[in-house]
Copies of this chain bind each other. A is one copy, B any other.
Amino acid sequence: MAFAAVQCELMKRSLQEVAEAVGARLHGDGKAQVSGVASIVTASAEDLVFVEDEKFLASALGSRAGAVIAGGFAAAAASGKPMLISEHPKLAFARAARLFRERRGEEKVGGHAPCDSDARGAGAAREKVHGTAVVAASARVASGAVVGERAVIGEQAEIGEDTQIGAGCVIGMGVKIGAECEIYPNVTIYAGSTLGERVIVHAGAVLGSDGFGYVRDRTTGHCEKFPQVGRLVIEDDVEIGANTAIDRGALEETRIGRGAKIDNLVHIGHNCRIGENVVIAAQTGLSGGVVIENNVVLGGQVGIGEHARIEEGVMLGGQGGVLPNKVLRGKGVAFWGTPAQPVREYLKQLAVLARLGKKK
């Protein structure tokens, strides 16, 4: 990789292997070897690049890349450079990248040089539990798991196989983390939270914090804290961005569904239920008790009021807002604005307003 932080021997894969792993059709020399992914500009001879749009094919073929992943449009191209033909070249490229990551993962477990672009600090890769980590006596750290410098693992916590806990993380009492998770540095997980397998949590995220619930005493005006004693459950294959905060349930649970992807600086309040494969862009905030059904896509800086429900497959544009208790419905329907409306209607309103503004 052009920007590899540190020089190190990357494991190579033959194009034949890559083609099989990603489900692409190979044109050219299957024995040629590649070890990473790159852009057309930054590629070296050991990198794969990809082209989705035919107009970039010539640049890709003219680049230094070792091979090009491209759509069916490229099948007839005359090229000295090997090609992997796929119906969905970007997906094939992403899968190839995962293949290289996995190979590096194997190395790390085996004690080789930690050729991975993360910030866990190098020491972590050498010893399973770094000498400066504080692991409670009753905690269980599975084989292959790595606990970084100065991480703290509370009593009765469980860390799954091959999971990596970054430097400075604080894992509360009784937290269960599944296998093959990557927890980046300085993450805090409150007691009793549960994470599935292959969950990625970026630096500074806070999981399982108290929700924001108070009862105003009418006599004094003071706010009495409502109990926040539920828990947080994060299912498999979820990714959570840097400095995101997800609250535990008040009395029951907050749940993040399998495969959900959550960006940086997102807020998820107590008792929310996020469905499977939901995508939530940066700085979006969900109030308490919000339900987001499967496959919903929320843009950045979206705000959703208490107990609102966004039904399956809805898309809501950036900065959109949903009032408390409202329901947005329609698979594949795009909404926008505050209060959120179907985007076609909202655009009409904006057009009318622009015209009126010009009149006077």
Contact = CB atoms under 8 A, between A and B. Distances in A.
Interface of A: 1-6, 36-39, 41-42, 88, 90-91, 93-95, 97-98, 101, 114, 116-123, 130, 132, 134, 136, 138, 148-150, 152-156, 166-168, 170-175, 184-186, 188-192, 200, 202-206, 208-210, 212, 214-215, 217-218, 221-227, 229-231, 237, 239, 241-245, 247-249, 251-253, 259, 261, 263-265, 267, 269, 276-277, 279, 281-283, 285, 287, 294-295, 300-301, 303, 305, 318-319, 321, 338-339, 341, 345-346, 348-354, 356-360
Contact of A119 (B120, B191, B230, B251): B191
Contact of A242 (B186, B209, B319): B209
Q: How many copies does the complex hold?
A: 3
A159 to B, nearest CB: 14
- Chain A interface, >50% SS class: loop
B119 A170 contact: yes
A150 B173 CA distance: 16
Given A37-B251, A42-B252, A285-B282, A91 B224 contact: yes
A117 to B, nearest CB: 5
A295 B221 contact: yes
A245 B245 contact: no
B251 A118 contact: no
Given A95-B224, A245-B265, A184 B188 contact: yes
Contacts of A132: 132, 134, 150
Contacts of A114: 155, 173
Nearest to A1: B229
A287 B229 CA distance: 33
